[in-house]
Amino acid sequence: MTIGLDDLEAEGFRTVIVTSADVTGRPIGKRFSPEVFRRLLDEGVALSSCVLGWDFEQWPGPQLEYTGHHTGWHDIRLVPDLATLRPAAWLERTAICVADLVETGSEELVPVAPRTVLRRQVDRLSDLDLAPHVASEIEFALYRGTYDQARTEGYDTLRPTTLARGDYTIQAGDQLEGFFSEVRQALAAADLGPWTTQAEWGLGQWEINLQHRPALEMADRHLLFKLAMRALASRNGMAVTFMAKPFGDTTGSSCHLHLSLVDGDGANVFHDPGAGRGMSATMRAAIGGVLSRAPDLMLLSAPTVNSYRRTRSGEFSGNGVSWGFDSRMVSLRVLLEPARATRLEWRVPGADVNPYLAISALLASAADGISTDADPGEPLIGGDWERPVPPLPATLGEAVAAFRDSAFAADALGKDVVAHYAESGRWEWERFLDPSAITGWERRRYFEFC
C-alpha cells in the first residue's frame, strides 16, 4: 500500500529512503528520519550530478556535456514524489519514496534524468489522448552465497539455486517457497504489485511478473522491485543478478515489457471488435512504429556489453525486426485475449535494462507509429519464424552508433538525451572491446549492479 505523511509517525516508521534512478538504472539517494523528510518535501535535498555521469562501477569517465569535471560535478536536487511514498516492507520500520531529479535554483526537471525522459514520453502520448499502461516480466538468476562471497571469489564459483531445469514446475518452486513467500508478502506490503512467481528454464533462474500500471508508476515499481530483491536475497544468504546472461552455458534473463494504450474513457484502444482478430488499426500502427524504430533505439533495450550475449543467443530473446500473434519466436508478440488485455509484448529487453529508458523507447516508437500510421508488414506465422528479417544491432558498439546517429531519437527524446546516453554507451563499449566470450570482467562489472 502507499501511505501518507501522517502514517510515518502513526505507524512508527524510523527511516525514510528517498531514491531515484542513476544513469545506469540503479537506485541512488539518501536516508532521513520522518521529521527531516517532512522538511525537505518542497525543496528536496542536494546530491552530486555524478549520479548521471558515472558508469556501472561509479567511475566518472564518460565525457558528458551535462556533468563532469568541467561543471565541477555540480549539485542537483532530489525532490520526493509523495504519490510514491510506501513502506519498504523488506526493511524494518522503513518507508521509501521515489523522487525526481531537479535543477538547483529552479523547478526544471533534469533533462537527462531517466525519470524525466519517461515523463516526457508519457506526456507525448497524452497529447494524443492516450495513456500507456505497462507490465514488467522480470527474470533473474539466484545463487547461493552472498555478494561479498561472490565478489571475493571473482564471481566464478557461483552455485545456482536449482541444478536441474524447472521451468513452470511446482517441484522446483517448492525448494525455495519459504523465500519466495517472503518475497511476495514484502512486495505486496510495499504495493509493488507482484502477480506471479515461478521457476524458469535456466539453472537458478526465476521469474516474477509485476501487475500492469501506468507507465511511470511501473518504472518506479520496477526500480524498487530490484532493490527489494537484492535485500531479501542477501538476508537469506543468496545473491540475485539481473545480468542478461551471466554465463555462456546458461539461459539469458529477459525483461519482457507489455504495453497497452487506453483512451480518456479507460478503453483499450488496441482492441477493435470490428477488426480482423480484434486488433485495431491503432495497434497495428503502434507495432509498425516499434519495429521501424527498434534498430535506432536498441541501446535503450540492451544497454550493456552483456545484453548482446542474450540477444544473439537465439534463446527466445527477440528475432530481428519481426512480429507475430502469440509467438515467442519473434521480437514483438501480439496478445489479443482476453479483449480487455489486448497488448503487445516487446521481447528484446534483458533483465539489465534501465526500466525508465526501455519503457521510454517503447512509448516513443509506438507514438511515432500511431502518428505516421506505420505499416508493420506481415507477421511471422508458424514455420515462417525462420524467414530472414532485418537484423537489430548485434553489439553494444553497433547500438551506440545507431542511437547516436538517429534523427528520430534526437527528435523524440531530445538531442541532449541522445548525446548523453550515446556517450555513456560509448564509454561502456570501449571498456570492453573483445566480444568473443563472456568473462569474469562482465560478471564483476554487472552481476551486482545491473
Q: What CATH number should be reported for the domain holding residue 72?
A: 3.10.20.70
**pLDDT, tens digit, for every residue of 353-382?**
999 999 999 999 999 999 999 999 999 987
pLDDT band at 434 (very low <50, low <70, confident <90, very high): low
Answer for the pair 102, 110: CB distance below 8 angstroms, yes or no.
yes
Determine the angle formed by the axes of helices 114-126 and 355-372, rounding to 10 degrees.
20
> Cα separation of 354 and 192, whole Å?
17
Q: pLDDT tens digit string along 103-114?
A: 999 999 999 999
Contacts of 49 (CB under 8 A, 6+ apart): 66, 67, 71, 73, 74, 75, 76, 110
Co-location of 42 and 171 in the same domain: no
In this predicted structure, what is the pLDDT of residue 435?
A: 58
Q: How far apart are CA 164 and CA 435, in angstroms?
A: 29
Quick one: 104 and 188 in the same domain?
A: no
Same-domain check for residues 37 and 170: no
Share of the chain above pLDDT 90, in %: 86
Q: Are residues 12 and 149 in the same domain?
A: no
In a domain, 17, yes or no: yes
Q: Domain range holding 64?
A: 5-109
164: CATH: 3.30.590.10
- State the total domains in the chain: 2
Asked whether residue 353 is assigned to any structural domain, the reply reads: yes
Instruction: Tell whether 117 is covered by a domain.
Output: no
170 located within any domain = yes
Q: With b meaning 16 or more CB within 10 Å and e meaning fewer, what string describes 151-166? A: eeeebeebebbbeeeb
Q: Are 206 and 199 in contact (CB under 8 A)?
A: yes
Residues paired with 135 in a beta bridge: 258
- pLDDT score, position 235: 97
Q: Is 57 helix (H, G, I), strand (E, B) or coil?
A: coil
Contact 224, 98 (CB under 8 A): yes
Same domain, 58 and 156: no
Query: Do 216 and 84 share a domain, yes or no?
Result: no
Q: Is residue 118 a part of any domain in this protein? A: no
Position 51 in a domain: yes
Cis geometry, peptide bond prior to residue 390 (ω within 30 degrees of 0): no
Residue 399: all three cell numbers together: 547500438
- pLDDT tens-digit map of 268-310: 999 999 998 999 999 999 999 999 999 999 999 999 999 999 9
**Long-range contacts, 4-7 (Cβ 8 Å, 24+):** 4/82, 4/85, 5/38, 5/82, 5/85
| 274: amino acid identity, one letter | G
Listed residues 53, 82, 109: the one ending a domain: 109
Q: Are residues 250 and 375 in the same domain?
A: yes
The amino acid occupying position 362 is L
Q: What pLDDT, in 10s, does the model give residues 174-225?
A: 989 999 999 999 999 999 988 899 999 999 999 999 999 999 999 999 999 9
Residues 104 and 133 in one domain: no
